[in-house]
Structure 1
């Protein structure tokens, strides 16, 4: 019986199918373009290779081709004869995921990983910012993420993939030196690993090393296929550093080429959240944002996230609706009961509405209670700086300059000397 790159047996006797399957896994772990083609080649070489079809389903999920993912999973189930116990459980996990049974999927992943920690295609479902732990809405989710990746790191050791996602978890709890060490070790083993490049950028951001980060990403991204899932988000990091360093031409050039809905090849949640956050962070930094950019983003949000439920996306949809003057859609989010952190979505949506009316006092009143635990909304610290910097801006707008300086020093000291907010010095 053939095995994958982690030594796990595969129910296929065709070396070409195995090799293409291994390539597909590497593409997913490194967030590089080509996973769908690789898994398609695997099942073309062996049409009865059940896990090849599961891999194809996973790749199509990243391509936002849900009908294609469902079709691939149905084929995988039809081929599911004489599988090993590990393969059968692997298939079941992805069936639960595609059915949207998120709590059950998370339990199944964690049970599976306890027995098969080297089954990385399953393990990665609960890693990363947008994994099932990261988007759970649970208090303390960042510590839970670190505990999970620590378990995997103990099993996998000097593996380029686990070092990158473990480093991300370390970064989000403030262990920046350890995180950077993990990223450097990961990149030394596989420099095309976009997850490691991404989380190295996060660590540099948290360290306040904007010039180094901007130079690093500009160099690294030059060889990264723009169709890859993280290209738009890495471009967002570059644009934020351009904003901080007052390079408006580069900011808007990157936005138009790689972040705007018409340009990005990222997953919809990244397109929406990156674009909304960048546009508003540009506004509070004192730049003029063309109204049509907000209108385009509002239309995108209503098309891809028509119903509340993904709280991190919901707060960014609400921002786009407020800035575009789409009051009806904003009102829906201001009253929503749906989603893992709906209790926080409601006041944040009302905050954006008050900001659009330039009612700074009301906006501050809405936003203040959410600041205690906005990590439940999801996203990284860098992404949640949208709220931190908005809060700072509202304090300044409301005449509380001294409190603004004390607050940023306590909450986000990385910005204590040079926050990208107009009027802060």
Structure 2
């Protein structure tokens, strides 16, 4: 979150035994390393890490599937062809049910949308309605943020950018309620920015893109988004 990408890459490549080895968090730490490369625009390195470390084992562990789906969605937002890498959607299919938590659901829906499986995404969202009727913490997380996130992702996949903005903007300040770290939830802002750019909403795109350089000094991705926003034609 400090955008110290060079430091992060250097540490992780110099000391892999400290964070890899026989660790349940190996794929997650690799995901963080991939984000460093993604911010620097080194897509080949990102795809290389995805194919060998992130999803090379086709893991069915939910934590690994979350990381895989999150990385794919970030690449999807960049307009990068994922080929058959969205096969991770198959792993989500048996478990995209009302028993999942809101955070898991959001990543399952990104995988379904990215794979072009709209019906599966819509079914997962419909299942959330049963979960929201309960009286537990997850029901609250879904009502507050999770359900809107999933609906926004589906709307993005449908090209309904007005709906995506309408659903995502109100929950930016409370997104922590549905789980994840700052780095994980950053995908919501990236989705919102890309939505504004694609929909021609120059004012919103410029405002959102302008926030990132202040917190991520030297971020190439932040600079790219800012340039795209600045070159958008203003509405008549």
- Which TM-score band applies after superposition, normalised by the shorter structure? 0.7 to 0.9
Matched-pair contact (CA < 8 Å) for 2:73–2:111 = no
Following superposition, the deviation at residue 271 of structure 1 comes to: 1.1
Q: TM-score, normalised by structure 1?
A: 0.47
Following superposition, the deviation at residue 386 of structure 1 comes to: 0.9
Name the CA distance, whole Å, in 2 between partners of 1:322 and 1:362.
Answer: 15
1:242 to 13, 19, 37: 37
The answer to whether the aligner puts 1:406 opposite 2:207 as a matched pair is yes
Matched-pair contact (CA < 8 Å) for 1:236–1:278 = yes
Q: Which runs of 5+ in 1 are unaligned?
A: 1-205
2:53 to 244, 248, 258: 258
Following superposition, the deviation at residue 391 of structure 1 comes to: 1.0
Matched residue, 1:298: 89
Closer, same or farther in 2 for the Cα pair 1:386/1:403, shift >3 Å?
A: same
Q: Deviations over 1:195-224 (max 9, x none)?
A: xxxxxxxxxxx2221111111111122455
Name the CA distance, whole Å, in 2 between partners of 1:271 and 1:261.
Answer: 11
Instruction: Select the structure that is richer in helix.
Output: 2
Q: Deviations over 1:252-306 (max 9, x none)?
A: 1111111117345xx823212211111111122342222x222x11111123444
Matched residue, 1:207: 2
1:391 to 176, 180, 192: 192
The answer to whether the aligner puts 1:321 opposite 2:112 as a matched pair is yes
Closer, same or farther in 2 for the Cα pair 1:246/1:411, shift >3 Å?
A: closer
Matched-pair contact (CA < 8 Å) for 1:318–1:352 = yes
Name the CA distance, whole Å, in 2 between partners of 1:249 and 1:410.
Answer: 27
Closer, same or farther in 2 for the Cα pair 1:304/1:269, shift >3 Å?
A: same
Following superposition, the deviation at residue 377 of structure 1 comes to: 1.0
Name the CA distance, whole Å, in 1 between partners of 2:22 and 2:200.
Answer: 45
Name the CA distance, whole Å, in 1 between partners of 2:62 and 2:166.
Answer: 28
The answer to whether the aligner puts 1:271 opposite 2:64 as a matched pair is yes
Q: TM-score, normalised by structure 2?
A: 0.80
| Partner SS, residue 350 of structure 1 | helix
Name the CA distance, whole Å, in 2 between partners of 1:286 and 1:365.
Answer: 22
Using CA pairs under 8 Å that are at least 6 residues apart, name the structure with larger relative contact order, 1 or 2.
2
Q: Which runs of 5+ in 2 are unaligned?
A: 132-137, 228-236
Name the CA distance, whole Å, in 2 between partners of 1:411 and 1:275.
Answer: 24
Name the CA distance, whole Å, in 2 between partners of 1:309 and 1:252.
Answer: 28
| Partner SS, residue 100 of structure 2 | coil
Larger radius of gyration: 1
Matched-pair contact (CA < 8 Å) for 1:318–1:330 = yes
Matched residue, 1:289: 82
Moved more, 301-310 or 375-384: 301-310
Matched residue, 1:139: none
| Partner SS, residue 37 of structure 2 | helix
Matched-pair contact (CA < 8 Å) for 1:321–1:330 = yes
- How many residue pairs were aligned? 216
2:179 to 349, 355, 378: 378
